[in-house]
Structure 1
Amino acid sequence: MNISGGGKWRREVEQLVVKPFRLVTSTLLSLLLPLSFLLLSRLSSASFLFSLIKSPPQTESSFFFSIFLNTNPAILYAVVPSISVYTLVLGLTTKITATDPNRSISFYPHVSIAWLTLFLVQVSVGLGLESTMSNGLIIGSERNFLSRLVFFFGLHEVMLLWYRVIVRPVVDSTLFGGDDGQLREETVVERVALAVSCGTLWWWKLRDEVEALVGVAEAKRALLLLLPIDGNVNVDLNVGIVDFVNWWLYYMVVTIGMVRIVKGSLWFGMILLFQQGGRRNPRGISSASNVSTTSTLHYDDQGDNKV
């Protein structure tokens, strides 16, 4: 009685407390990846504008801002492109008919590595966004709604892989004590929460500010063509390695979005094709079975008559 009652009480607590807490925590930690794109775009805009005016503004957070502006954010440039490249490789190599998204993921880092990665990204994003929040420096690039939508699909795909590879193993090992290979099943509620949170953040901030990843490189290129090349211009307008990496990262996410749209369209077309084939095949099978049964009955009748 006590054992069964304790098990029932534990299941009720898990349903009422643990699962909602897991959903909220996983969703918030998954937003670290799109926030990383936001931080990289703000740092790119700030470095470009400060290189033009040659004097960064003095603010209360200038100390932290100078740390993230003058030093290369190596953590974000190591994690974000790696997750993006892995997402693109999985998108190009996995089958369209795969139903379980976890089966397509061939590599899961150890929980300790996932813990360390999540901690470093959280600290970098938190301090970086805190120092760049009040500056409002945006060097964007005008894109139409379709290109922005494709980027959103790619960003959502990268965010899903970040959630499945880094966030969910950490959260499950903390709450349930699971190992690397004992991940809980991903529910529809979790997917909807991730999509809604990513879409809200994209519509609120990312759709305008994230274009600085390509806007800075394009602005430098345009200024190089417009400004005269003489000794009086003391502004460094050359496209550096960081600018190229930002430009490459933006268009890689766009490529991921295009791959997802194409695969989704093919998957939807295959479903419609199978449904039409399923509607036609039962009629043919039933008619063939009727003909075979009637023919056997006819022969049996003839045999009975002959006997």
Structure 2
Amino acid sequence: MSFSGAGGKWRREAEQMMVKPFRLITTTLLSLLLPLSFLVLSRLSSSSFLFLLIKSPPRNVSFFSILPVILYVVVSLISVYTLVLGLTTKITAKEPNRLIPFYPHVSIAWLTLFLVQISVGLGIEGTVSNGLIIESERNFLSRLVFFFGLHEVMLLWYRVIVKPVVDNTLLIGGDGETVVERVALAVSCGTLWWWKLRDEVEALVGVAEAKRALLLLLPINGGSNVNVDVGMVDFVNWWLYYMVVTIGMVRIVKGSLWFGMILLFEQGTTRRTNPRGISTDSTHVTTTSNVHYDNEGDNKV
């Protein structure tokens, strides 16, 4: 019995050693689907603008008309939910998972993750060969704020969709986030943003600005039959971009307030512990003098 118990314990430890790295890699890769969705949407915006300029319809009509709708719906819902939580959640040091009031059912999370993965895969494959990058005049600070917002949206995507699906698949408990997981998510999102997103995601607002510039440059009485009006899709792209920027600003403000509260709490704790800076040596001297006085009194008696 002891040998079987030791063997079972060794097997459980081996499973944990295999499951934890696999879970970390899987959750990190699946969490990148959300920033990749922004990349696909920006490339689709650039591609549509390119087809508009060359007066040629898209080659893959089914993809350009159906699958982006899935990405727009999912990305919009996750972004709005992130912004609402950022504006309504108090600044506390509690576990982030406990601050999320709504979790979809595991089956809904499975379906959402599957649809987004298919849409992102087909979108990257269908738009990687266009090579058109439409940038907007944004400084590095505004891009950095967008990165903070994108990272916050990706964290909610991980906590609400990815983590429940992975935990349900591996049949493990829903443990809290570890430092290794947070570092892996931050590094992966930062690498993707620096490599691709910081330039290509500008197309979400760059296309609308380019269309407005073309409207000003075109002659008033005709001369071109290209329709460069800003449509609903351009407005949605503009709205998504600036909503993520707003999320980043909220995160920076709340992080600064949290850091200031920590500093004030530390100073308050120090003052309550030793309000007047009285050292313990004075107490020792006072006690000694009292004892000496009592001894003198005893000697007089």
**Which TM-score applies when normalising by structure 1?**
0.88
Query: Contact 1:46/1:69 (CA < 8 Å) preserved in 2?
Result: no
Which structure 2 residues correspond to residues 29-108 of structure 1 after superposition, within 5 A? 29-55=30-56, 62-63=59-60, 66-71=61-66, 73-108=68-103
Gaps of 5+ in 2: none
Q: Does 1:228 align with 2:207?
A: no
1:157–1:256: 8 Å Cα contact kept in structure 2?
yes
Aligned residues: 297
- Distance apart, 1:2 and its partner CA: 4.8
CA drift at 1:150: 0.3
146-155 or 217-226: bigger deviation: 217-226
Question: Does residue 256 of the first structure (1) align with residue 247 of the second (2)?
Answer: yes
Aligned in 2, Cα 1:12/1:285: closer, same or farther, shift over 3 Å? farther
Provide, for residues 16-50 of structure 1, a one-character-per-residue CA deviation record: whole Å limited to 9, x for no partner.
21100000000000000000000000001111111
Which residue number corresponds to residue 200 of structure 1? 191
* Whole-angstrom CA distance in 2 between matches of 1:257 and 1:109: 24
RMSD of aligned alpha carbons: 2.7
Deviation at 1:13, TM superposition (A): 1.8
| Structure 1: stretches of 5+ with no match in the other structure | none
Which whole-Å CA distance do the structure 2 matches of 1:93 and 1:288 have between them? 45
Greater shift in the superposed pair: 96-105 or 239-248: 96-105
* 1:213 pairs with one of 188, 204, 214: 204
Paired residue for 1:165, among 133, 142, 160? 160
More displaced stretch, 99-108 vs 157-166: 99-108
Q: Given that residues 67 and 119 in structure 2 are in contact (C-alpha distance below 8 angstroms), is that contact kept between their aligned partners in structure 1?
A: no
Structure 1 distance, partners of 2:172, 2:272, is 48
Q: Which has the larger radius of gyration?
A: 2
Distance 1:148 1:140 in 2: 12
% identical aligned pairs: 76
**1:136 equivalent among 106, 122, 131:** 131
Q: In structure 2, give the amino acid aligned to 1:119.
A: F
The one-letter code of the counterpart of 1:30 is S
Superposed CA offset, 1:29-77 (max 9, x none) = 00000000000000011111111111258xxxx44xx432244611111
Query: Whole-Å Cα distance in 2 between the matches of residues 25 and 151 of structure 1?
Result: 25
Q: Partners of 2:251 and 2:15 in 1: how far apart?
A: 35
Q: Give the CA deviation at 1:237.
A: 1.3
Further displaced range: 44-53 or 207-216: 44-53
2:137 and 2:199 map into 1 onto residues whose CA distance is: 9
* 3-state SS of 2:274 partner: helix
User: Aligned partners of 2:232, 2:279: CA distance in 1, in Å?
Assistant: 68
